[in-house]
């Protein structure tokens, strides 16, 4: 591949700091590998003195492979295999291992971390319905506290009461310390402390890594940056590559302002812009450029391409969500007939749960697809399990297991001690609460509700449980306790109702659930072995990929930007996320929005309106 002038300048750069702003599809990986090869060939740098850091093992492996192939083709005599390619965690753990003689036994796996957090949380007698979501959120918040080094007393949890979070955090940290265990975040904290406090060890690693290259620099967090700066000093041969317009990992602690302030931290920095895009058509870049221009805090840049022109990006608005998914199905079938491989088509969503109904349609029409993210099974959600338990009880099931699921949802104040056998009897419950008329009234009402449900359709039953039984009030109370948005729980109810619509009996709906669940399991099994079919992905997981045809779904206000994006910084990140999705497309790009979903009116995303793109929409 012939280098353009900006790439050549980056490759030839020798000493001192350099910032390479690399737009999407601009050949940054080729530039980085060529630069490392040039350090060896032209400047005769010792290969063991070069460190190349990136964020994922896959990216590190790919870059190492491409670099070694380049060196082989060039007939390089230097021992280029001694160049270090690694992730932040891998490199920093290597430093710790060398200093403290650590082994794999000292590393706390994500699975063991979750188990430990469960033990701690349940030891504090927390009542948690949404176990998976709760512990994922808890784990992310612990990481956030560690990576940003926020004083614990100044951190306010979005998952649970603040005093509960702080208690769990302190217990977790103490347990890890006592057992000499490090989680992934500790690798950064301990490495920083080691290099900060031990000048002799710091000097040793500074002499070892005299040339440092960092890929995807826009995704760096503060503690990673602080460690990199320590390692690069005093020579500051630090070569960073990234695109501030593609910084989309704030939830992992990434801060785009670190890249924005790099010239202030290193006043002698040389800056180059890779502005030539080798991926997309001029029309796609023009539309994406209009979107990202809405961000104020960014390096101003003009991305261009010498690729031939293509069709104008399509923007369509549908009345209802189901129309959107059926239309995408038709587009996929049409593109396949035109010769486009399934693997060159991608359907992108803001969240992984957004793909549920499209996946059902693809299954129904036997269109092969591959998931970049695991799709949460709607029917595994705790609310779904509650609905199913109500229906099973209505059908006559009296097992203790099903009764426990719903006896206090809403709260009827029924004690577990009242369930003396594996089979529950309403007569025995009334006998247990004899003399407590108000409790007997509640038990009578529950029995009546189950009789009412018995003759309903699944759709009708879900709505009756929600409004007639009082389940909606229970959700409101639980949302307040867990600091959740009540609307999010209501949306699960609405998705369940939509799924149940059209089924006449509980048994029919249960059969559908079983078939759907089995197909999801089959898809999960194939995910790591077969890379065939239309790609279904979140916008986050699509980063770094490219496809001939890209469909971005639900470009609506409240979805993109996400409803939780409150401040200006959050909105700018959402705008970057849409920009990343749009620039995945090589030849054709489609953005879809809907007027209504789950019987709620929706508006097109402000990002389309701001960019003037929504004027070209076509209502079907």
**Residue 116 host element (H or E):** helix 110-123
Residues in a beta bridge with 370? 535
Beta strands in 248-379 (DSSP E): 270-274, 276-277, 304-305, 314-318, 345-349, 369-371
26 labeled binding residue: yes
The answer to whether 22 touches 241, Cβ cutoff 8 Å, is yes
Is residue 293 exposed (0-12), middle (13-18) or buried (19+ Cβ within 10 Å)?
Answer: middle
What distance in Å separates the CA atoms of residue 62 and residue 47, rounded to the nearest whole number?
18
> CA nearest 499: which of 346, 353, 368?
353
- Residue 616 tokens read as 């070209």
The answer to whether 173 touches 180, Cβ cutoff 8 Å, is no
Q: Do the strands 534-538 and 345-349 form a parallel or antiparallel pair, or are they unpaired?
A: parallel
Give the side-chain half-sphere CA count within 13 A for 226. Answer: 15
What distance in Å separates the CA atoms of residue 271 and residue 263, rounded to the nearest whole number?
9
The answer to whether 298 touches 568, Cβ cutoff 8 Å, is no
What lies within 8 Å, CB to CB, of 591 at 6+ separation is: 313, 314, 315, 316, 552, 555, 582, 608, 613
Give the side-chain half-sphere CA count within 13 A for 521. Answer: 8
- DSSP for 290-316, written as a single string: HHHTT-SSS-----EE-SPP-PPPEEE
253 labeled binding residue: no
56 labeled binding residue: no
> CA nearest 302: which of 264, 240, 245, 217?
245
28 labeled binding residue: yes
**Residue 537 host element (H or E):** strand 534-538
**Helix, strand, coil percent values for the chain (each to nearest 5):** 55, 15, 30
3-class DSSP assignment, residue 281: coil
The answer to whether 611 touches 290, Cβ cutoff 8 Å, is yes
Residues in a beta bridge with 276? 304
Is residue 465 exposed (0-12), middle (13-18) or buried (19+ Cβ within 10 Å)?
Answer: buried
What distance in Å separates the CA atoms of residue 104 and residue 106, rounded to the nearest whole number?
5
The answer to whether 578 touches 541, Cβ cutoff 8 Å, is no
What distance in Å separates the CA atoms of residue 145 and residue 233, rounded to the nearest whole number?
27
CA separation, residue 85 to residues 29, 44, 77 (Å)? 13, 18, 19
The answer to whether 299 touches 599, Cβ cutoff 8 Å, is no
148 labeled binding residue: no
268 labeled binding residue: no
What distance in Å separates the CA atoms of residue 345 and residue 535, rounded to the nearest whole number?
6
Give the side-chain half-sphere CA count within 13 A for 149. Answer: 11
Could you list the residues known to form a binding site, using ranges.
22-29
Could you list the residues known to form a binding site for ATP, using ranges.
22-29
């Amino acid at each position: 591949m012939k280098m353009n002038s900006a790439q050549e300048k980056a490759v030839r750069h020798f000493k001192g700091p350099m910032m390479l702003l690399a737009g999407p599809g601009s050949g940054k990986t080729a530039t980085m590998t060529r630069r490392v090869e040039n350090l060896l060939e032209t400047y005769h740098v010792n290969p063991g003195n070069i460190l190349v850091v990136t964020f994922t093992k896959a990216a590190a492996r790919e870059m190492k492979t491409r670099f070694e192939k380049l060196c082989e083709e060039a007939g390089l005599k230097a021992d280029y295999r001694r160049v270090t390619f690694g992730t932040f965690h891998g490199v920093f753990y290597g430093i710790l291992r060398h200093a403290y003689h650590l082994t794999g036994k000292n590393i706390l796996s994500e699975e063991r971390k979750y188990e430990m957090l469960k033990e701690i949380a349940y030891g504090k007698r927390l009542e948690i319905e949404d176990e998976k979501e709760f512990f994922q959120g808890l784990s992310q918040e612990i990481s956030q506290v560690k990576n940003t080094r926020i004083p614990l007393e100044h951190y306010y949890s979005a998952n649970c009461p603040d005093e509960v979070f702080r208690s769990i955090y302190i217990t977790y940290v103490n347990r890890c310390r006592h057992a000499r265990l490090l989680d992934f975040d500790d690798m950064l904290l301990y490495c920083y402390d080691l290099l900060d406090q031990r000048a002799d060890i710091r000097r040793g690693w500074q002499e070892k890594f005299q040339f440092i290259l960092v890929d995807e620099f826009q995704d760096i967090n503060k503690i990673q940056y602080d460690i990199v700066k320590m390692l690069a000093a005093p020579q500051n041969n630090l070569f960073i590559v990234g695109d501030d317009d593609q910084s989309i990992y704030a939830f992992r602690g990434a801060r785009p302002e670190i890249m924005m302030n790099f010239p202030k931290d290193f006043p002698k920095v040389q800056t180059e812009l890779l502005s030539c895009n080798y991926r997309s058509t001029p029309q796609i870049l023009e539309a994406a450029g209009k979107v990202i221009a809405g961000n104020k805090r960014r390096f101003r840049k003009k991305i261009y391409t010498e690729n031939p022109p293509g069709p104008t990006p399509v923007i369509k608005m549908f009345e209802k969500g189901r129309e959107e998914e059926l239309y995408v199905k038709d587009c996929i079938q049409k593109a396949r007939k035109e010769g486009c491989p399934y693997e060159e088509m991608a359907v992108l969503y803001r969240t992984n749960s957004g793909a549920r109904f499209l996946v059902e349609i693809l299954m129904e029409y036997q269109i092969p697809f591959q998931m970049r993210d695991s799709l949460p099974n709607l029917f595994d959600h705790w609310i779904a399990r509650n609905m199913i338990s109500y229906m099973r009880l209505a059908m006559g099931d009296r097992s203790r297991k099903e009764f426990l699921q719903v006896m206090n949802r809403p709260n009827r104040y029924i004690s577990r001690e009242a369930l003396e056998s594996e089979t529950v009897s309403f007569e025995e419950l009334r006998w247990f609460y004899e003399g407590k008329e108000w409790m007997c009234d509640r038990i009578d009402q529950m029995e009546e509700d189950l009789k009412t449900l018995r003759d309903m359709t699944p759709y009708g039953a879900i709505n009756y449980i929600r409004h007639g039984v009082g389940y909606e009030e229970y959700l409101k109370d639980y949302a307040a306790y867990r600091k959740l948005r009540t609307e999010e729980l209501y949306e699960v109810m609405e998705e369940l109702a939509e799924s149940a619509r059209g089924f006449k009996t509980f048994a029919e709906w249960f059969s559908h659930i079983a078939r759907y669940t089995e197909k999801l399991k089959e898809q999960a099994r194939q995910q790591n072995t077969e890379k065939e079919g239309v790609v279904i992905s979140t916008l986050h997981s699509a980063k770094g990929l490219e496809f001939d045809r890209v469909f971005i779904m639900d470009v609506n206000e409240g979805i993109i930007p996400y409803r939780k994006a409150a401040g200006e910084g959050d909105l700018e990140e959402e705008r970057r996320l849409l920009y990343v999705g749009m620039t995945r497309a090589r030849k054709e790009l489609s953005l879809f929005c809907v007027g209504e979903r789950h019987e709620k009116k929706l508006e097109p995303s402000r990002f389309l309106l701001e960019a003037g793109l929504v004027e070209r929409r076509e209502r079907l």
